[in-house]
A and B are shown apart, each in its own frame.
Chain A
Amino acid sequence: GQQVMQIPQYQHVQEGEDFTTYCNSSTTLSNIQWYKQRPGGHPVFLIQLVKSGEVKKQKRLTFQFGEAKKNSSLHITATQTTDVGTYFCAGGYQKVTFGTGTKLQVIP
């Protein structure tokens, strides 16, 4: 079946440093979604990318969908303590396959 892996599994950064998580799928994705889950919370939708090579920005967050639609990345510029959480990529409409997640810890 489809597998969606993310690296790194964990990342500790100093506040103000940049952070990137990479998402790789074993199969071509129709779309890619990104979610953020705070400790003890539920996943919160961040964004969806659909087109090959698409890049979208949300303030300090930059999302990219690979040309082959098998990989994606999320980059956070100048991290803040509020960025703490686990970031999941996910593929598919409705029936979503989640990536393994990257847990981000920001050190003040």
Chain B
Amino acid sequence: GAVVSQHPSWVICKSGTSVKIECRSLDFQATTMFWYRQFPKQSLMLMATSNEGSKATYEQGVEKDKFLINHASLTLSTLTVTSAHPEDSSFYICSAGGGRDEQFFGPGTRLTVL
């Protein structure tokens, strides 16, 4: 199947700093990518839909100014957590592909905000 990578795989930062997470589709082009957040022992919650060349679409309750999404190319989407706080600590996962087929998930990024 298709491969989606994420970088970094884990990051620890101080409260108030910003963190950028990259999501890349390695062997296919993705006009649309999705960002999910997963808190411990919970399910995945869709945060936003990243659209290449246009603004991201955010789910209800997700602050667009806090979670900046940029889909710069057909193979790269970035999620920037601005002014991170401890409550933002979570597992962030991106996905790409789909249509009427499966979604391919990245390995995830574990963010810990001290």
Contacts and interface: CB of A to CB of B under 8 A. Distances in A.
A94 B34 contact: yes
B8 to A, nearest CB: 14
Nearest to A97: B46
A96 B105 contact: no
Contacts of A100: 43
A85 to B, nearest CB: 13
A95 interface: yes
A52 B32 CA distance: 28
Contacts of B107: 41-42
A96 B103 contact: yes
B26 interface: no
A100 B104 CA distance: 19
B98 interface: yes
Contacts of B41: 103
Contact of B44 (A94, A98, A103): A98
A48 B101 CA distance: 8
Interface of A: 1, 31, 33, 41-45, 48, 88, 93-101, 103
Given A33-B102, A41-B108, A94-B103, 15 more contacts: A42-B93, A43-B93, A43-B105, A45-B1, A45-B103, A45-B104, A45-B105, A88-B44, A93-B99, A94-B32, A97-B46, A98-B44, A98-B45, A98-B46, A101-B43
